[in-house]
Structure 1
Amino acid sequence: MEQQGKYIYEYPRPAVTTDCVIFGFDKGELKVLLIERGIKPYSGKWALPGGFIDMDEDSETCAKRKLVQETGLENIYMEQLYTFSAVERDPRYRVISIAYYALVNLSDYNAQAGTDTTCVKWFAISDVPELAFDHAKILDMAKERLKGKIKYQPIGFELLPEKFTMPDLHCLYETVLQTELDNRNFRKKILGYNLLIDLNEQQRGARNRAPKLYSFDKERYEELTKAGFYFEI
């Protein structure tokens, strides 16, 4: 019940937050966007963007709101990851977090520090600093989710520019999957799905033979999916 502008409950109840793992891909490296906290606890420590859910919003709305407030990012691909509920994950009081992960093309977004943050920065996955709360655990789970899902759903295209080359796509998959993929077989499989649009352009500035530029045919993929199409790398 509500009394004098405060919520009063008969039994103790946990607070609920959202945390967001934002992945990007740049120069052959998978990266994650982190904020430097400007408030306690863990002031000055790096963390995932996120915050408390308001009484009048759902978790996804909160995740998107906090991204805009803390990093300036909006209108990005996002999926729910997992709910983290370890009893002592927050030193203040009982807090449950609903985590999301998102994929962005770095060149399309200019991340900037906002509410309760002193800095926002992209870190290579191989060079992530110590994180506040249990955010290292959240990041690890997000990496595994991305690694698994990119095999059977073409979400990797969200990390690339609108125009990309076959070597760009091949490098992305090898980086995310952390394994070598035979270039010839990879190319044959990708082109065999007929999901790429040949733009009849070549990459500028290439030293040797300039590779072709492609774009992802999202409309065709959605049509094929409705008909039972299965994507697999």
Structure 2
Amino acid sequence: MPGRLQRKAIDSLAGGDLADFKVGVDNVIFSVDTEQNRLLVLLVMRHDDPFLGYWSLPGTLVRHGESLEDAAYRVLSEKIRVENLYLEQLYTFGGPNRDPREAENSFGVRYLSVSHFALVRFAEAELIADGVSGIAWYPLSQVPTLAFDHNSILDYGYQRLRNKLEYSPIAFEVLPQTFTLGDLYQLYGTVLGPDFADYSNFRARLLKLGFLRDTGQKTSRGAGRPASLYCFDADAFEPCKDKPMVFI
């Protein structure tokens, strides 16, 4: 006898034809403006229907012979120039009617979005206009209503970013090569909120992990005492990269 899930699948197949799909990628591209303590996301203005005139996440349909990752990098290269980039696949959004074009065609075509999550260094990122207006960094707190279901994709990406900060060294992807512990604390606070941890406890935990190396150099900012400059020691982290960890 078929189980409950099997019966549900059989009933579903019996109730209609198999769907035909078009596959796209949408990129949630984050950066952190450390000077103004702002978490930013890259948005582009749509110049075609559907959602003409709406802001959206940078995206594209996947071409013949192109992998999902290649499509994600392609749309990134069309919108932004940056040397240091962290990119990973985020989630697949494929609910019915997520794209108005589904109701407009008579072929039953569904539109899937395989979203990707990217993090870039703000100071190094150069936006590419290429004669097309409407590309900008938006503070996360000021993002408008986006095209399609891109607000939901953005929310999912933001949660992934928060989680990655807690168990991975992703923060060092957007910091300069050398930084103070205050810079690092400020970055975490910008993404997670100002009350995520006490500075003393944060400092002690990060140094105990053994992945931050004191460069022996100091920097002076304002009238305060010079602060030590650190760098992330990738070699020290390598033996532990596959172990469960908590960074904060």
Q: Same fold by TM-score, threshold 0.5 exceeded? A: yes
Q: Cα distance, 1:203 vs. partner?
A: 2.7
Paired residues for 1:34-183 under 5 Å: 34-73=43-82, 76-93=85-102, 94-114=110-130, 117-178=132-193, 179-183=195-199
Matched, 1:28 2:40: no
Question: What one-letter code is carried by the residue in structure 2 that aligns with 1:101?
Answer: F
Q: Cα distance, 1:12 vs. partner?
A: 5.2
> Any idea what SS the aligned residue of 1:192 has?
helix
Q: Cα distance, 1:31 vs. partner?
A: 1.0
TM-score, normalised to structure 2, is 0.82
Q: Distance in 2 between matches of 1:143 and 1:107?
A: 20
Paired residue for 1:212?
A: 228
Matched, 1:14 2:14: no
Question: What one-letter code is carried by the residue in structure 2 that aligns with 1:217?
Answer: D
Question: What one-letter code is carried by the residue in structure 1 that aligns with 2:180?
Answer: T
TM-score, normalised to structure 1, is 0.87
Q: Considering only aligned residues, what root-mean-square deviation do their CA atoms show, in Å? A: 2.1
Q: Distance in 1 between matches of 2:58 and 2:169?
A: 25
Question: What one-letter code is carried by the residue in structure 2 that aligns with 1:36?
Answer: M
Q: Distance in 2 between matches of 1:141 and 1:182?
A: 27
> Any idea what SS the aligned residue of 1:81 has?
strand
2:84–2:121: 8 Å Cα contact kept in structure 1? Answer: no
Q: Distance in 1 between matches of 2:97 and 2:169?
A: 37
> Any idea what SS the aligned residue of 1:14 has?
strand
> Judging changes above 3 Å, is the alpha-carbon distance between structure 1 residues 231 and 11 closer, same or farther for their aligned structure 2 residues?
closer
Paired residue for 1:7?
A: none
Q: Distance in 2 between matches of 1:45 and 1:201?
A: 47
Q: Distance in 1 between matches of 2:84 and 2:69?
A: 12
Q: Distance in 1 between matches of 2:63 and 2:154?
A: 24
Q: Distance in 1 between matches of 2:168 and 2:225?
A: 31
Which runs of no fewer than 5 residues in structure 2 stay unpaired?
Answer: 1-16, 103-109
Question: What one-letter code is carried by the residue in structure 1 that aligns with 2:203?
Answer: R
Question: What one-letter code is carried by the residue in structure 2 that aligns with 1:215?
Answer: C
Larger radius of gyration: 2
Report percent identity of matched pairs. Answer: 39
> Any idea what SS the aligned residue of 2:126 has?
coil
Q: Cα distance, 1:73 vs. partner?
A: 4.7
Q: Cα distance, 1:112 vs. partner?
A: 1.6
